[in-house]
Chains A and B, each alone.
Chain A
Amino acid sequence: MTQQTILLVSTKKGLFVVQGDAARRDWSLSGPFCEAWPINHAVADPKTGAIYAGGGNEWFGPAVWKSQDRGKSWTHSSEGLAYEEGKDPISAVWSLAAANGSLYAGVAPAGLFRSDDGGVTWRHVSGLQDHPTRADWQPGGAGLILHTILPHPEDDKQLWIGMSAVGVFHTADGGASWEPRNAGTRCDFLPEDQRYPEFGQCVHSIAMAPREPGRLYQQNHCGMYVSENGGVEWRSIEDGLPSSFGFPAAVHPRDPQTLYLFPLNGDSVGRYAPDGKAAVWRTRDGGASWQDLRAGLPQENAYLTVLRQAMATDAADPAGIYFGTTSGAVFASADEGESWQCIVEHLPLISSLETVALDT
């Protein structure tokens, strides 16, 4: 039995599944799935092989879709995926995470839900909405979205989340109580003497290092950061990068010191690849130094944007790196970023990309 790398590519017009051959050189596309609903994020549960896709439709509201046959057939549910009467209704699911037998969904307006029956029914993890800072949460450019969920790999009571533009929050008791973990991350959009608040940071993505769950990396609207204590304190690692702005962050599957970013030129000057030349930037020393990886990536007139959830690594050796663009292209590297090829073009806007290895 061999394992096949599968990419889950969520777009504004449905989920696409991209399957690679054993060498990760030839790829085949299927989709769009989920009735071409806007899908913000999709994951696979490695234990069951089930694929979950979360999104929201302008007509029909939010839902989490599920396939147990690699996309051939789908079901959908939003049973329990709702705030109490009178509150602003949920518009869409923005993030999913499968861990420890549970499935989590982050939604807009920002909140967290949990399913213990494989996405059939959901219950509100209401402790987050009950946080005393809730009344002061402000939306980012994409709205008040909970876009990142990082479960602790061994302790099912611990969870980190990222919300725009609220920041990183952590729970150690399964979601009953939460604390902001933003110390050391900046808000360049606030007056100078208020740039390091307790919350209100515009986190774009957070990634957990392999084998070191306390080592987190963060791409923020205002800088790139690392934490070695689960987000209690963050330290800037943006020196050596072409800008302080970008959306995604992806960690190496085995090396906790290796991180991949896709810096953009800046928040007020277009938010695309600097000078129209696409590059993934890699550190192998926890952010002390950076290398730009360009071989095979377009270096002329490439005004690409990669959104917050749209870069991922696989678990193969050497590691594969993948990213999807807002212009609907997917680029892949099967050699840890040394060389790249465009494996899919002309998709709708890509919101997120995740990988899963499934038995064939």
Chain B
Amino acid sequence: MPNETAPRPPRKSTPAESNAARVRVVLPGPLLRLFPGSQRELVLAAANVAELLDGLDARWPGMRDRLCDSRPAIRKHINIFVDGGSAALDTPLPPGAEVFILTAMSGG
């Protein structure tokens, strides 16, 4: 189900892709179901996790809100790993980094 919001321009913090490291990101299945047309793996340019989320939001409007709350912080039950290490919004992304976004153990 596509989010109804019209495509928005990237936030001001989003760099031009040529100025930031290109990283590979893998999205979780439950998130893909919320954004028809989204893809499990992609490569994009981002200097840190916050910029990566902005980049995802630019492609699929509303996706940032599903992964990040208004504090702002990564949502409590979302885990983001950068090259195998647990990450926060300000975690830098080295060139070629692998970023896995996962849904944590939760629910009942």
The yes or no answer to B71 lying at the interface (CB within 8 A) is yes
Contact with A along B55-71 (1 / 0, CB 8 A): 00000011001110111
User: With the chains together, A225 CA to B103 CA distance in Å?
Assistant: 45
Q: Do the beta carbons of B62 and A77 come within 8 Å of each other?
A: yes
Q: Which partner residue on chain A sits nearest B5 by CB separation?
A: A79
* B53 CB → nearest A CB, Å: 13
Q: Do the beta carbons of B69 and A89 come within 8 Å of each other?
A: yes
The yes or no answer to B106 lying at the interface (CB within 8 A) is yes
Q: Do the beta carbons of A121 and B71 come within 8 Å of each other?
A: no
Number of residue pairs across A and B with beta carbons under 8 Å? 70
User: With the chains together, A82 CA to B69 CA distance in Å?
Assistant: 8
Interface size of B in residues (CB-CB distance below 8 Å): 26
Interface of chain B, main secondary structure:
loop
User: With the chains together, A73 CA to B3 CA distance in Å?
Assistant: 12
The yes or no answer to B84 lying at the interface (CB within 8 A) is no
Q: Do the beta carbons of A85 and B75 come within 8 Å of each other?
A: no
The contact sample of 10 A-B pairs, CB cut-off 8 A, is: A35-B33, A59-B77, A59-B104, A60-B31, A82-B65, A82-B69, A83-B70, A85-B72, A87-B71, A89-B71
* B82 CB → nearest A CB, Å: 19
The yes or no answer to A196 lying at the interface (CB within 8 A) is no
**Size class of the A contact interface (CB-based, 8 Å):** 20 to 34
The yes or no answer to B16 lying at the interface (CB within 8 A) is no
Using a CB–CB cutoff of 8 Å, the interface residues on chain A facing chain B are 35, 58-61, 65-66, 73-79, 82-87, 89-90, 119-121
Q: Do the beta carbons of A58 and B107 come within 8 Å of each other?
A: yes
- Residues of A within 8 Å of B34, CB to CB, are 35, 60, 76
Contact with A along B36-78 (1 / 0, CB 8 A): 0000000000000000000000000110011101111001111
Q: Do the beta carbons of A59 and B103 come within 8 Å of each other?
A: yes
- Residues of A within 8 Å of B106, CB to CB, are 58-59
Using a CB–CB cutoff of 8 Å, the interface residues on chain B facing chain A are 1-5, 30-31, 33-34, 61-62, 65-67, 69-72, 75-78, 103-104, 106-107
* A86 CB → nearest B CB, Å: 7
- Residues of A within 8 Å of B103, CB to CB, are 59
Output the residue of B31, B67, B71, B78 with the most chain A CB within 10 A.
B71
Q: Do the beta carbons of A77 and B3 come within 8 Å of each other?
A: yes
- Residues of A within 8 Å of B30, CB to CB, are 35, 59-60
User: With the chains together, A75 CA to B33 CA distance in Å?
Assistant: 11
Q: Do the beta carbons of B70 and A89 come within 8 Å of each other?
A: yes
* A205 CB → nearest B CB, Å: 26
Given contacts A84-B70, A87-B70, contact A61 B65 (CB under 8 A): yes
User: With the chains together, A90 CA to B71 CA distance in Å?
Assistant: 10
Q: Which partner residue on chain A sits nearest B6 by CB separation?
A: A120
- Residues of B within 8 Å of A86, CB to CB, are 71
Q: A78-B65, A79-B3, A79-B65 are in contact. List 5 more A-B contacts (CB 8 A).
A: A58-B106, A59-B78, A60-B34, A79-B62, A86-B71
User: With the chains together, A58 CA to B69 CA distance in Å?
Assistant: 12
